[in-house]
Amino acid sequence: QKEVEQNSGPLSVPEGAIASLNCTYSDRGSQSFFWYRQYSGKSPELIMSIYSNGDKEDGRFTAQLNKASQYVSLLIRDSQPSDSATYLCAVWEAAGNKLTFGGGTRVLVKP
Amino acid sequence: KAGVTQTPRYLIKTRGQQVTLSCSPISGHRSVSWYQQTPGQGLQFLFEYFSETQRNKGNFPGRFSGRQFSNSRSEMNVSTLELGDSALYLCASSLQASSYEQYFGPGTRLTVT
């Protein structure tokens, strides 16, 4: 079983809609969670970090964390074609003392 | 502030050769982590260096090694290259060891023929 799981997609959303991405993790001791955006042929870019249960908003992005359910999500509001990318969920594993990535969810925003 | 830089950006090697990749972290960042990214396995952690010491290592064979210099620049070396080593190698810098927020460089695309 992978330690950080994401639906690979593609997640197709119309322009202006909300894109909802999900991520589950196995290490109950994890305390820090991140979302990276990776455009094709480029390196990952950190877009959100979340450490406490609940929601954290930054512009059009909202990260949601539920440690009891070992679940973290990312909402992209008012999706734009420029949001088309692969979104990687990353979890800081206390046990392994390393950042572990999910396989990524590919998002396609259609005009 | 300049970002993370990696050299070279592209590299083609043949099986059995060795390769050295370089990474310069963001100014003031003291930790460098290396990752391998392939379509099949995704992003996988190789190792982390802080203050010239390897702090953690991923599940890779001993052919993969690295080091860090006093100016925080880091190199990774892969010896006896195999076809399966073809990948995008990314380094990420962070302020402190085991720091949560890591910032990636553009990567080195290695092709082994």
In a structure prediction context, what are the per-residue pLDDT tens digits for chain B, which is 113 residues long?
A: 679 999 999 999 999 999 999 999 999 999 999 999 999 899 999 999 999 999 989 999 999 999 999 999 999 999 999 999 999 999 999 988 776 789 999 999 999 99
pLDDT of residue A98: 87
Residues on chain B touching A92 (C-beta within 8 angstroms): 98, 100
How far, in Å, are A40, A42, A107, B22, B93 from residue A82 at the CA level? Answer: 12, 14, 10, 31, 26
Q: Which two tokens stand for residue A52?
A: 């406490």
- Residue A1 scores a pLDDT above 60: no
Which tens digits make up the pLDDT trace of A6-35?
999 999 999 999 999 999 999 888 889 999
- Closest chain A residue to B91, measured at CA: A43
Residues on chain A touching B100 (C-beta within 8 angstroms): 32, 34, 49, 51, 92, 99
> What is the spatial distance between Cα B62 and Cα B68, in angstroms, rounded to a whole number?
17
| Beta pairing class for B74-78 and B19-24 | antiparallel
- Residue A97 scores a pLDDT above 60: yes
pLDDT of residue A2: 63
